[in-house]
A and B are shown apart, each in its own frame.
Chain A
Amino acid sequence: MAKADVLGESLWDAYSNKVTTLMNNPQHQGEIFDAEAEEHGNKLIVADFGAESCGDAVRLYWEIDPKNDKIVNSKFKSFGCGTAIASSDVMTELCIGKTVQEAVKITNIDVELALRDDPETPAVPPQKMHCSVMAYDVIKKAAGLYMGVDAESFEEEIIVCECARVSLGTLQEVIKLNDLKTVEEITDYTKAGGFCKSCIKPGGHEAREWYLVDILADTRKEMDTEKMKAAADAMAAGGGNFEEMTLVQQIKAVDAVIDDSVRQFLIMDGGDVEIIDIKKNERTIDIYIRYLGACGSCESSSTGTLYAIESTLQEKLSDKIKVLPI
């Protein structure tokens, strides 16, 4: 909260003049009947979306010229608040004159933009963005009916936030690229979750398949795994920064180098080596090891072999390494 939220804006005062005008006097409210379309040699498509029990319902009518798939007339009926009626009205306006294939590309963002008085100022407050989504959904449904396909087939990607039309792919990419850690950051970067807020977490205005909190958690987990994997790969390649690794990573890195370059020779002589501990000092990184098997009694274990292990580790990992047998 901040100063602007102490009182909070009145919902209706945030509507554009266009929303107010169309609510008071919708231009395309009404019905088109079968007989009428038939008389013109056209096809009538009528699609419903939402229901009274949801608090919002819209019925869209398209009269389509079957020769060129052009929507020659469109009307609507709506059970809803002012923004729902104004959104439906502008939606029909946008449909008229387009082919069905063109109309299906109209999104709720187009509807909201068409309701703006000036291009920079939103037509409705954030919690009302949701109303324009119904327009988008009912268009897809009508187009599906006309083309004989499922409405879902027009959706090329998974849309997580319908109000801002942000896809799952976009969200995952933005979280990764910008190292986002909170839902608020996601909203700042993508606008997702900034409107009706249903997509943030379960329990909102409507149930969703995907929620930002889960996407964030899953993507962060994926990022962590990737980071670990990168570190492991770097270690295996000897390219990681040994000094900045965690203790566990350091032990694994030392083990990997020993595995790769030393252990086979020790085993040939009937011995082995284990890492006991790693201590980071100011100038050195001390690696405590213990010889196993034959190495324990081998004379060179404190001279030649030790030198070989130490120089290999210095070369592969860090020149600060000192190896101390115990």
Chain B
Amino acid sequence: MKVYLDNNATTMCDPKVVKAMEPFFSEIYGNPNSLHKYGTAPHPAITKAIDQVYTAINAADADDVIFTSCATESNNWVLQSVWVDHVLNGDKNHIVTTEVEHPSILSTCKFLEDQGVKVTYLPVNEQGVVEAHTVKSFITDKTALVSIMWASNETGMINPIDEIGQICKEKGVLFHSDAVQAVGKIPVDLQATHVDFISFSAHKFHGPKGVGALYIKNSQALSPMLHGGEHMGGRRSGTLNVPFIVGMGEAMELATKDIQATMSKIRAKRDRLEDALVELHDTFVVGDRQNRTPNTILISIKGVEGEGMLWDLNNGQIGASTGSACASADLEANTVMLAIGADNELAHTGIRLSLSRFTTDEEIEYTINHFKEAVARLRMISSSFAKQAPTKGGEVQECELHHH
């Protein structure tokens, strides 16, 4: 059996989505900006996709949803254009974000710091959640933007976006949320929650890779990042990626139309898996289940190094993920695990399992069995559970390798 449990990284494109996209490659291929019939032919499908997207996040007609190439582009756009509009051409010089954002936020913030912008990286609590009062206390009259992820890709933990939105509204500060892990997984209602900008990406909810969007409340000003042919009202130039926009609309509708029912089905499987895995001694799962995206588990297994565990899972045809030491190119500890205050030890033992609406009960059962076998094997090899004590003087006094 093959089990894909890395749906926070990317998802399978729903065959229904692929089918909706198909006509727009070789049959209906006109440039929507052209005046002729070829150009207008895809208009109904694009209009439908726009409706699907607006409906899925309950955006108002006065709001803009601009299609981009991915959420990384959307995140870069907001941060860099707020810098241009409010720092270079305004009197602000400060951005508030968190330590646990996606690299497309953190690296852009580092870039802006190099340009002279002050950036505050807020800590998260032991639940992996940023607290609203912390956000409030760091906003100053120089703050141009608050950027806080809706839900964490690593832990699945959901931030208090409603509260933070209210705080930003009261303080008159722009508020952006990277909603990549929220849209399609949990209800996102932008008429109920105050957010100026949100970023999201189709491939996280069974749409195609290479298309995302930026929501802009009330069509407010934000300098474009891509200049060119005045597409999408001049907000983001580049010929409309018609098949992918159609696919994104379809994927969003499929993911959100019965979201409560879909969520509870995924949650039941996730909880079944989680309950079974925490039966293993010396394990813990990060964050309260009730405040977590219903598909995510970040579990720490004492004595089992993350990449070693991934290896054994992979041998069993199970695809999972770890942000910990050996697996990432830079060999660092899982920064999210460190940020929630987990011991250094645990930062190297995290395994993330993320389900989707396509995950089956059989796959869950198979995963439970294989996971337990892998833990047993690796704990047998592990020095963490060795019985014979080291020779006097042979102990490790402190970490001899120094991580940062």
Contact = CB atoms under 8 A, between A and B. Distances in A.
Contacts of B394: 45-48, 141-142, 145
Interface stretch (B87-95, B229-237, B284-292, B382-390): B382-390
A contact residues, range: 35 or more
B382 A79 contact: yes
B401 A78 contact: no
A55 B403 contact: yes
Contacts of B315: 24
A51 B399 contact: yes
Contact of A52 (B303, B329, B332): B303
A12 B343 contact: no
Given A34-B388, A81-B305, A52 B345 contact: yes
Interface string A44-63: 11111111111111110100
A11 B325 CA distance: 13
A271 interface: no
Given A32-B388, A33-B387, A48-B390, 13 more contacts: A23-B308, A46-B390, A48-B383, A48-B396, A52-B302, A54-B348, A54-B400, A55-B401, A80-B308, A81-B327, A196-B331, A205-B331, A205-B332
A33 B388 contact: yes
A85 interface: yes
A206 B332 CA distance: 9
Contacts of B330: 205
Contacts of B383: 48, 57-59, 77-79
A26 B308 CA distance: 13
Interface string B325-349: 1110111110000000001110111
Contacts of B400: 49-51, 54, 137
Contact of B348 (A52, A142, A203): A52
Given A46-B394, A55-B325, A130-B331, A31 B388 contact: yes
Of the candidates A55, A59, A61, the one having the most CB atoms from chain B within 10 angstroms of its own CB is A55
Tell me the dominant secondary structure on chain A's binding face: mixed
Contacts of B44: none
Contact of B401 (A31, A48, A50, A61): A50
Contacts of B380: 29
A59 B390 contact: yes
Contacts of A137: 400
22 contacts: A11-B329, A46-B389, A47-B391, A48-B383, A48-B394, A48-B395, A51-B400, A52-B384, A53-B347, A54-B344, A54-B401, A54-B403, A55-B326, A55-B403, A56-B401, A57-B396, A81-B325, A84-B305, A130-B331, A203-B404, A205-B330, A205-B403
Contacts of A141: 394
B19 interface: no
B256 interface: no
A182 interface: no
Contacts of A12: 311, 314
Interface string A257-286: 000000000000000000000000000000
A207 interface: yes
Interface string B349-388: 1000000000000000000000000000000111110111
A80 B390 CA distance: 18
Contact of B403 (A46, A78, A145, A206): A206
Nearest to A133: B401
B175 to A, nearest CB: 32
A240 interface: no
**Nearest 8 A-B pairs (CB), nearest first?**
A55-B325, A53-B344, A81-B326, A81-B307, A77-B383, A207-B402, A47-B394, A54-B401
A115 to B, nearest CB: 16
B348 A50 contact: no
Contacts of A26: 381
A82 interface: yes
A301 B135 CA distance: 84
A61 B383 CA distance: 11
Contacts of B329: 11, 127
Contacts of A55: 305, 324-326, 331, 333, 347-348, 401, 403
B393 to A, nearest CB: 6
Nearest to B310: A81
Interface in B49-100: none
B170 to A, nearest CB: 39
Contacts of B399: 50-51, 53-54
Contacts of A203: 404
A205 B388 CA distance: 30
Nearest to B401: A54
Given A53-B345, A61-B388, A203-B404, A79 B303 contact: yes
Interface string B177-215: 000000000000000000000000000000000000000
